């Protein structure tokens, strides 16, 4: 092969930089020299009909030969090189959406074409992490209005796949999150599918939480199905619970979420665009959004919930989606377990109608399934709840769930963690408040969701009496190191569970539900 000034042989670096493509070149490489590349230069690599824009890292010792370019795992996957692969390298032109990005950063309102340019560049990996972060930050707070939210949602749908289920209602549900253990989805899907409706559920893995629905479901059945496999499951059983990341539904959302995760902030506008773009891309016609409200949930006040609800409803209407928004109690975790396997155990316990099944998880699942069944054309308000309860109590929902697991590749009973340790109450009294965020943090420090069996098992609830020295919760971990790490944090943050003595006054926080329908 010839060796002109812009060509290098590709090798696999074997380095996982998550989704960000990185290319490694030696400092003395002739391409670096002739093109004037330095560390962090944005480099366009082309090979045949494939191309990737990657960030350059410069190798300064002899670990890399000067006549090759090494690709990180993400870049290697995009380029998919054959045997004896070569690529040409050049400076990446600034992406066309740079103008729109600058406009948003400087406070201007964007239109559909602007968001489309941004989302196109994002999914084509033409935006660096720095540019994606600037976009996410520029849209945070109240910086996306309703028109922009609608335009962004449409743009996110436009740059990904969209499933066509033919005619008729296609149901879906989503929880905006922030409430550890709130794992109603597998139960709701089982009930709704048992009622004879289609509910092809795509779920996410954990973003900032100790478990996403996909993580929990994966403990019990395979979830990495492509769109064709997912379609076969739904055609056979009416419902599925699969990981959405494999389906390329709203892939722009996956990229934005990667940035939002370490920052741990997003905005109503981005939240609505994220949730509804997934629903529309998945081909849903009727969806329900569960909005837990509580001081340490994602939505902290009734005012914030109203604002989010209004934006969800107006955006759903613009995209032709029938939406029900259900406000629920967000004051404390739901169910006992927090972490993939512990939550899967609770889900199965409810489906199996076991005596010790967590009542709160059961009631929430029934409320959501009932509201979804009510939303379908032809049903009357209030009848859905009765039907949902009948399907759960009769075992029809359990049978449907196991059939769905079978169709997805086979059911597995959840495993338990090898190391557990209780955290004890440091005084006697009643539980006043529970800090959802810190409970989630303990579960994450224990290893969830990376270690499926890790997490927190917590049976006390707000209002319960506890005695000093009694266990408040158990930490479950795969390794002693993680167990000690989580335990150390839990004991250093005793106020995660506020225990009030008899003399303490103070309100028990809001925990009644309410609902609203479009």
Q: Which helix (H) or strand (E) holds 150?
A: helix 146-158
> Which is nearer to its own copies, 57 or 182 (by Cβ)?
57
Distance between CA 467 and CA 336 in Å, rounded? 19
Where does this chain bind its own copies (CB under 8 A)?
5-6, 12-18, 24, 27, 33-36, 38-40, 42, 57-63, 72-73, 90-91, 98, 102, 105-107, 128-131, 133-134, 136-138, 140-142, 259, 262-265, 445, 447, 450-451, 479-482, 485
Q: What angle do CA 298, 518, 230 make, to 5 degrees?
A: 70
Report DSSP letters for 157-201, one per residue.
HHTSB-----SS--EEEEE---STT---HHHHHHHHHHTT--EEE
Whose Cβ is closer to its own copies: residue 130's or residue 303's? 130
Contacts of 114 (CB under 8 A, 6+ apart): 97, 100, 103, 104, 151
Least gap, CB of 130 to its own copies (angstroms):
5
How far apart are CB 205 and its own copies at their closest, in Å? Answer: 12
The nearer residue to its own copies, 42 or 311, going by C-beta atoms, is 42
- The conformation of residue 67, written as its DSSP 8-state character, comes to T
To its own copies, the closest distance from the beta carbon of 156 in angstroms equals 20
DSSP-assigned letter for residue 406 = H
Comparison of 85 and 200: residue with beta carbon closer to its own copies = 85
- C-beta of 259 vs 490, nearer to its own copies: 259
Least distance to its own copies, CB of residue 478, Å: 8
- Contact 10/87 with Cβ under 8 angstroms? yes
What is each CA distance from 97 to 119, 127, 140, 167, 314, in whole angstroms?
A: 9, 9, 19, 36, 27
Q: How far is the CB of 216 from its own copies (least distance, A)?
A: 18
Q: Name the nearest CA neighbour of 155 among 188, 115, 125, 195.
A: 115
Among residues 62 and 164, whose Cβ is nearest to its own copies?
62
Are 104 and 117 in contact by the 8 Å Cβ rule? The answer is no
Distance CA 118, CA 137 (A): 14
Q: Are 52 and 109 in contact (CB under 8 A)?
A: no
Residues forming the active site: 266
183, with CB counted inside 10 A (0-12, 13-18, 19+), is: buried
In 3D space, the residue among 269, 249, 240, 252 whose CA is nearest the CA of residue 171 turns out to be 240
The H or E element that residue 128 is part of is none
CA distance to 124, 285, 359, 458, 517, per residue, from 365 (Å)? 39, 20, 10, 19, 18
Of residues 6 and 406, the one with the C-beta less far from its own copies: 6
Question: Considering the complex, what minimum distance in angstroms separates the CB of residue 495 from its own copies?
Answer: 17
Q: How many CA atoms lie within 13 A of 337 on its CB side?
A: 31
CA distance 144 to 388: 38
Q: How big is the CA angle at 243 (ends 238 and 248), to the nearest 5 degrees?
A: 100
Closest to its own copies by CB, 114 or 374? 114
**Cis-peptide into 449, omega within 30 deg:** yes
What is the closest distance, in whole angstroms, from the C-beta atom of residue 36 to its own copies in the complex? Answer: 5
Q: Name which of 55 and 202 has its Cβ closer to its own copies.
A: 55
């Amino acid at each position: 092969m010839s060796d002109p000034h812009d060509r290098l042989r590709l090798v696999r670096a074997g380095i996982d930089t998550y989704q960000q493509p990185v290319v490694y070149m030696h400092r003395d490489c002739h391409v670096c020299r002739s093109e004037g590349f330095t560390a962090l230069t944005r480099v366009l690599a082309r090979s045949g009909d494939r191309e990737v824009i990657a960030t350059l890292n410069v190798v300064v010792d002899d670990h890399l030969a000067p006549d090759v370019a090494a690709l990180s795992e993400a870049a290697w996957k995009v380029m998919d090189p054959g045997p004896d692969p070569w690529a040409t390298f050049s400076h990446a032109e600034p992406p066309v959406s740079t103008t729109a990005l600058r406009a948003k950063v400087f406070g201007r309102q964007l239109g559909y074409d602007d968001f489309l340019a941004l989302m196109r560049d994002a999914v084509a990996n033409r935006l660096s992490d720095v540019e994606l972060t600037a976009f996410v930050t520029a849209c945070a707070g109240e910086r996306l209005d309703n028109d922009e939210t609608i335009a962004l949602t449409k743009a996110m749908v436009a740059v990904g796949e969209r499933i066509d289920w033919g005619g008729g209602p296609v149901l879906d549900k989503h929880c905006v999150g922030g409430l550890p253990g709130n794992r109603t989805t597998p139960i709701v899907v089982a009930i709704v599918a048992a009622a004879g409706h289609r509910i092809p559920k795509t779920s996410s893995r954990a973003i900032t939480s100790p478990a996403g629905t996909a993580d929990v479901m994966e403990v019990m059945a395979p979830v990495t199905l492509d769109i064709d496999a997912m379609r076969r499951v739904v055609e056979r059983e009416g419902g599925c619970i699969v990981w959405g990341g494999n389906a390329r539904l709203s892939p722009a959302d996956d990229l934005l979420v990667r940035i939002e995760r370490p920052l741990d902030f997003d905005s109503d506008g981005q939240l609505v665009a994220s949730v509804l773009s997934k629903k529309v891309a998945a081909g849903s016609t009727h969806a329900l959004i569960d909005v837990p409200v509580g001081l340490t949930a994602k939505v902290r006040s009734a005012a914030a919930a109203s604002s989010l609800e209004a934006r969800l409803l107006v955006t759903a209407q613009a995209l032709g989606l029938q939406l029900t928004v259900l406000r629920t109690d967000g004051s404390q975790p739901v169910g006992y377990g927090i972490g993939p396997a512990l939550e899967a155990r609770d889900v199965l316990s409810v489906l199996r109608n076991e005596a010790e099944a967590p009542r709160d998880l059961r009631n929430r699942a029934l409320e959501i399934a009932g509201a979804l069944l009510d939303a379908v054309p032809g049903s009357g308000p209030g009848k859905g709840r009765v039907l949902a309860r009948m399907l759960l109590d009769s075992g029809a929902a359990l049978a449907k769930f196991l059939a769905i697991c079978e169709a997805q590749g086979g059911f597995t009973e959840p495993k338990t963690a090898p190391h557990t340790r209780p955290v004890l109450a440091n005084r006697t009294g009643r539980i006043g408040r529970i800090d959802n965020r810190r409970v989630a943090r303990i579960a994450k420090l224990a290893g969830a969701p990376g270690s499926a069996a890790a997490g927190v098992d917590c049976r006390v609830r707000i209002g319960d009496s506890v005695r000093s020295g009694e266990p408040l919760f158990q930490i479950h971990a795969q390794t002693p190191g993680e167990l000690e790490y989580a335990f150390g944090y839990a004991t250093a943050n005793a106020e995660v569970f506020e225990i009030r003595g008899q003399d303490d006054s103070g309100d028990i926080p809001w925990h009644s539900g309410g609902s609203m329908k479009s």
